Amino acid sequence: MNKWMEKHVLPIAVKLSNNVVLKSMRDGFLIITPLIIVTSIFLLLGNFPIPHWEEFWTGVFGKGWIDWFTAVSNAVFSFTGMLSSLAVAYAYAKNRGVDAIQGAIVALVSFFILTPTTMVVGKKTISAVNTTFVGPNGIFLGLVIAFVSVEVYRFAVKRHWEIKMPDGVPPAVTASFSALIPSACVILVFFFVRLIFTFTSFGTAYQFIYSILQAPLKDVGNSLPSVLLYNTLSSLLWFFGINGPAVVNSVWSPIFFVLTQDNLHAFQQHQVLPHIYTQQFIDMFTTFGGGGSTLSLLIVILFFCKSKRMRELAKLALVPGIFGINEPIIFGLPVVLNPVIAVPFIITPVLNTLIAGLCFTWGWIPYTNGVNLPWTTPIGFSGWLTTGSWRGVVLQFILLILGCLIYYPFAKVQDQQYLESELKAQQA
């Protein structure tokens, strides 16, 4: 398998890694990776999976202490779409040979031009920016904005559409006036994009994306095929930089909520639990370490990979990954738009869902009891607490090991690719 992957997959991966668009996305995500890693620690401290953790610290610091930590984590996670657009535009402009700072700034302005600036609160319409549009759900459109804005800017620069200043003018002033017309071209393009969408039924570019993505997700129900579709779409959207669960939950969340409440009521009444596919099933038995079940990937990297880049990233991402926070590995490796890791990233949660669904259906594992655990509860504890049985724990670790076997050949291909780049850097 390794030889086949190295022969057929690695050459394609090398070509893709040298593509200026994919390279810029990778470099852009690396710019914001340190912020994601640091703020992940604050997110973990605010949601530490110990019983009465919040109540204990409330007694010490009073109500609202958790806001101290969420303010830090939200400073990045609530604006990942905007930050990704800014960082990728910077990297793309640099790779395309134009002013990187100016390219990043015009992309940021373009991002806000397309961002809805009104919200309906009750019966009133107020001026505000919903973080839904600038957070993870805005990553995909943010990337489009980054590339289009830089290309329009470059188009104008290459044709020398600029205001030339006389000799003797300070360089900073000359550069500012040189960027005036190219920047105006970018802003004009996105002005018309926003204007065009106002005359459509979508209203905004964001609503257009949501409608296109969410339309195929309607009319799904409570079944194994439904949950398989849920996890497939979640992982696939993550591959394109979109927070998959945030999108597909708009359809599935009401179903999972009702099913979970039914099980909780039956559990409280000491009755037979009626449903398999609850929110706890999704959170605790289909993905470990976050979307794509990347805890298995981290284990493979730490035990079997040699690339310094991958190993150092895995060391930093392991503790957040144990508690279900995998943004460091998604944006740091990266997983987003990485064709090598995409295959196991999509397959592993789907296979976990299939195996776990059959185990629950055949009665090998007690149904989840509907008790709402923090999503940061680590593997092992979550299996026991949601099923009340050691068999739930065993199933979790079997699926974790199976995920390692799936990720192994693909991680080794990525490892070989990074090793070669590291060797070239050392030789240089």
Alpha carbon separation from 175 to 94, 104, 164, 165, 182 (Å, rounded): 16, 15, 9, 9, 12
Rounded mean pLDDT, 363-392: 82
Q: Are residues 184 and 324 in the same domain?
A: no
Conformational region of residue 62, where left means phi above 0, alpha means psi within -120 to 50, and beta covers everything else: left
Return the pLDDT at 47.
Answer: 64
Q: Are residues 310 and 249 in the same domain?
A: yes
Indicate if the pLDDT at residue 305 is higher than 70: yes
Question: Which two three-digit tokens encode residue 79?
Answer: 């604006």
pLDDT classification of 16: cutoffs 50, 70, 90: low
Q: Are residues 283 and 419 in the same domain?
A: yes
Using one digit for the tens of pLDDT, what is the confidence trace for 17-60? 677 887 888 788 878 878 877 776 776 677 665 667 778 888 88
Domain count, the chain: 2
Final residue of a domain: which of 216, 243, 264? 216
Q: Are residues 202 and 271 in the same domain?
A: no
Return the pLDDT at 218.
Answer: 40
Q: Are residues 270 and 383 in the same domain?
A: yes
Return the pLDDT at 217.
Answer: 41
Helix axes 10-17, 20-46, angle to 10 degrees: 90
User: Which parts of 115-170 fold into alpha helices (H)?
Assistant: 131-134, 139-158
Query: Looking at this protein, which amino acid is placed at residue 156?
Result: A
Indicate if the pLDDT at residue 410 is higher than 80: yes
Q: CB 327: neighbour CB atoms within 10 A?
A: 26
Final residue of a domain: which of 216, 249, 284? 216
Q: Are residues 178 and 259 in the same domain?
A: no
Return the pLDDT at 348.
Answer: 94
Which residues are CB-neighbours of 72 under 8 A, at least 6 positions away?
39, 42
Rounded mean pLDDT, 411-418: 89
Residues spanned by the domain of 400? 219-427
Q: Are residues 205 and 229 in the same domain?
A: no
Q: Are residues 202 and 251 in the same domain?
A: no
Query: Looking at this protein, which amino acid is placed at residue 341?
Result: I
Question: Which two three-digit tokens encode residue 44?
Answer: 């973990």
Return the pLDDT at 214.
Answer: 42
For the chain, the first-to-last Cα distance in angstroms comes to: 32
Q: What's the pTM value of the predicted model, to 2 decimals? A: 0.61
Using one digit for the tens of pLDDT, what is the confidence trace for 50-69? 667 778 888 888 888 888 88
Question: Which two three-digit tokens encode residue 70?
Answer: 């969420």
Q: Are residues 227 and 212 in the same domain?
A: no
Question: Which two three-digit tokens encode residue 360?
Answer: 């629950």
Alpha carbon separation from 295 to 27, 166, 179 (Å, rounded): 23, 59, 46
pLDDT classification of 352: cutoffs 50, 70, 90: very high
- Identify the residue with better confidence: 11 or 393: 393
Q: How far apart are CA 350 and CA 293, in angstroms?
A: 10
Helix axes 244-268, 224-239, angle to 10 degrees: 150
Do residues 374 and 368 lie in contact, with contact meaning Cβ atoms separated by under 8 Å? no
Using one digit for the tens of pLDDT, what is the confidence trace for 111-127? 999 988 877 777 787 88
Indicate if the pLDDT at residue 155 is higher than 90: yes
Final residue of a domain: which of 155, 183, 216? 216
Eight-state DSSP code of residue 63: T
Return the pLDDT at 219.
Answer: 44
Q: Are residues 195 and 231 in the same domain?
A: no
Using one digit for the tens of pLDDT, what is the confidence trace for 132-149? 778 777 777 888 899 999
Say how many residues make up the chain: 428
Q: CB 240: neighbour CB atoms within 10 A?
A: 14
Question: Which two three-digit tokens encode residue 407?
Answer: 């990720």
Nearest one of 346, 108, 368 to 244, comparing CA atoms = 346
Q: Are residues 237 and 136 in the same domain?
A: no
Q: How far apart are CA 416 and CA 133, in angstroms?
A: 37
Using one digit for the tens of pLDDT, what is the confidence trace for 215-248? 444 445 668 888 898 888 888 878 776 677 766 7
